[in-house]
Amino acid sequence: EVQLVESGGGLVQPGGSLRLSCAASGFTFSDHYMDWVRQAPGKGLEWVGRTRNKAKGYTTEYAASVKGRFSISIDESKNSLYLQMNSLKAEDTAVYYCARHYDSSGDPRKGGIDVWGQGTMVAVSS
């Protein structure tokens, strides 16, 4: 079964750090682009960042709101994706989803997120 399971969420003070983990199973992890998407309470979806697949060197992209504070990394040996979050702000409070990007054509623009984790809650508050 294709599955993504996030962990690592919790309550953190403003200015603090947190690392989210996402364990993947049931598919060849290194073949896929992987995204982090968040959703603040009662709000819409916000794309946080992406790592391209192994063939593209696991290069990354970030939303402006998190660039310089968040970083995405991969551990192939553990089939895991990570989101390191530093200098956290109250506005980073959200459910964070790990997500697999799918495309059948080889062009990531012609695809979408077909597998989502269950989400992990991050609350930034003093």
Binding site residues, other proteins, CB under 8 A: 35, 44-47, 50, 61-64, 97, 102-103, 108-114, 116-119
Of 91, 69, 94, 117, residue with least CA distance to 10: 94
What is the rounded CA–CA span in Å between residue 65 and residue 93? 13
Residue 54 or 113 having the CB closest to other proteins? 113
Residue 32 or 50 having the CB closest to other proteins? 50
Min CB(27)–other proteins separation in Å: 15
Residue 76 or 110 having the CB closest to other proteins? 110
Query: Which helix (H) or strand (E) is 122 found in, with range?
Result: strand 120-124
What is the rounded CA–CA span in Å between residue 73 and residue 50? 10
Min CB(13)–other proteins separation in Å: 27
Q: Six-digit token pair at 17? A: 């750090």
What is the rounded CA–CA span in Å between residue 126 and residue 80? 30
Min CB(2)–other proteins separation in Å: 13
Residue 49 or 74 having the CB closest to other proteins? 49
